[in-house]
Structure 1
Amino acid sequence: MSTERVIHPDADTLAGDIAERLAEAISRAQQQGREPHVVLTGGTIAIAAYEQLSADGADWSRVHLWWGDERFVAAGHEDRNDQQARDAFIDRLGIPDDHVHAMPARDASAHDGGEQSMSDAADGYGASLPGEPFDLVLLGLGPDGHVASLFPGFTQLDEQVRSCVEVYDSPKPPPERITLTFPALNRSAEVWFLVSGDGKADAVARVVAGSPVAETPASGVTGLERTLWILDEPAASHL
């Protein structure tokens, strides 16, 4: 397993490189006869990259999309990572609905007369994950070192059985979320960290220095074959 870093001068260049690398990774998997499974992240730099994706270079009808975490709000809400991705590229590129594996929404069971519980939603998503490792997991990084919705000091960091869990008191709004756990995030050929801005520089440096997972959860995620950090210069300024 290799760990690599690519550093760009600014956020715009960073977003363009992410988009190019993502299309290339998908195309490469498809040329090997596979429909790649990619775990998406939210966040400003990821959305900027998604907006630059085009129909060139990859067959977007033959890719499966998953999410590393989600805000447990109603379907279609502007806070949801899946809705932001739909607005940025999924609808534009015509990815089939049955290849878009969004995490459950709060109102997913509204037609049955009630809301879905977070624990049931998390377990249901965990059960739906592919049996084989993901091809690629995309992750952002919080200034506190959190990744997906795995936050410093939270009990979810210790989960070793469930692939997906509920979070009731996220320090970032909204407080109720669903997230993949370390066992699921670490079951990927490649993990890419997409990080922009000097506000993330300390967290990046802590991960690179091997900060404990309890303090810097991002330290707990690595790819089976490669871990790639794609940064801009402000985010890399403490290295």
Structure 2
Amino acid sequence: MSESSYCGFVSCTFPCHLTATLRSASLNTFKSCFVKQKFVKIRPAKFLSKPFVHHFVMSTTTTKTRFIESDFSVFRISQNAEELAASFGGYFVEIASKAIEKQGSFTLAISGGSVLQYFSKAILETAGRRELVDWEKTFIFLVDERYVPWDDPQSNYGQLRKFLRSSGIEHKVKVFPVNTSLSLEEAASSYEQDILSRQNEQDFIKVLHQPVKYQVEAVPAFDLILLGLGEDGHTASLFPNKELLGETKKLVGYERNSPKPPLERITLTLPTINHAKNVAFIVVGKGKAEIMQRLCEDHSVQYPARLVVPIFTRKEWFVDEDAMSQVAAAQDAPQ
């Protein structure tokens, strides 16, 4: 697969009505690209719209992981799951270390499911990286939670607690679970208060004068939010065609009728996610190849993952070749 194919994909994947007001992009149709220590010219894909052509590709000779950058995203494309874990592990340690050095703490929000599994594989189960994080200064929240008891196998908190216990750091790190013993609405409201009480004053970002008109005065800025991608394009517990996608007043919302079980869930809302200092997706496997292709070809905002447009940073995508396999086929086909 050619770098130019990836380059076109990255540039076309993330156009969104929210992004045009957030960052200016180059209108040039070419960009100098650094590929394997040589500068070359890369032509954007034919379906690329002008405001999103500012991009370049970078490969290194020290790792098989390839880096592709645009104004809105950074793609780290690994050959396999093991290589992806190493790539993500280095990124995570750097983000955590810088946050602790700068402000004395690191606040993370993490999704469940496969994201938790890769987090455990990349960080918790790898002593060389696990020991580089000051867990006593680390605070972990959940991006979303299933409305089930903590001891239920579907509980994200239960899964996270199991991983922390097996790695021997459960007693060090502070984890904030969703209180699912409350009513669904009360659980969401209580979790919002937990987030607000943890954040220091300096960690709030005033949004009254930001171009995205969220109806909240301030949003807590997580140091890092880790997200996954569903086969329908959902992320967190934000599903296509659901009212939560338009939520502008709350930091934490709830879903009563999820398209996948369990039906009831609690989730961070887009205002909270989009004001994080760092946002990263982990997408692995051929099962995600079709949705990655759709994100490339379909410029609409029907997919919730497209509505994740961080205001003050770029999205980091940790993906493997399997997840990108159909994107390659689409790029190589006649236009």
Query: Which one of 33, 37, 41 corresponds to residue 107 of structure 2?
Result: 37
SS at match of 1:162: coil
- Larger deviation: 95-104 or 165-174? 95-104
Which residue number in structure 2 is paired with residue 216 of structure 1? Answer: 303
User: AA paired with 1:65?
Assistant: I
Larger radius of gyration, structure 1 or 2? 2
SS at match of 2:262: coil
Contact map agreement 1:71 1:79 (CA 8 A) in 2? yes
Q: Deviations over 1:43-100 (max 9, x none)?
A: 2253133134244111111111011100010122221111111111366342557821
- Larger deviation: 51-60 or 172-181? 51-60
Q: Percent identity?
A: 31
Give matches, 1:125-136, under 5 Å. 125-129=191-195, 130=199, 131=204, 132-136=220-224
Contact map agreement 2:135 2:173 (CA 8 A) in 1? no
Query: Which one of 109, 120, 125 corresponds to residue 50 of structure 1?
Result: 120
Give matches, 1:83-102, under 5 Å. 83-89=158-164, 92-96=167-171, 99-102=174-177
Flag the 1:118–1:211 CA change in 2: closer, same or farther, 3 A.
Answer: farther
Which residue number in structure 2 is paired with residue 26 of structure 1? Answer: 96
> Structure 1: where are the runs of 5+ without partners?
108-115
Aligned residues: 229
Give matches, 1:188-227, under 5 Å. 188-208=276-296, 211-213=299-301, 215-223=302-310, 224-227=312-315
In the alignment, structure 1 residue 163 sits paired with structure 2 residue 247? no
TM-score, normalization: structure 2?
0.63
Q: Deviations over 1:142-199 (max 9, x none)?
A: 0100000110111111111111111111111111111111011111011101001122
User: AA paired with 1:189?
Assistant: K
TM-score, normalization: structure 1?
0.87
User: AA paired with 2:189?
Assistant: D
Give matches, 1:105-120, under 5 Å. 105=180, 107=181, 116-120=182-186
In the alignment, structure 1 residue 62 sits paired with structure 2 residue 150? no
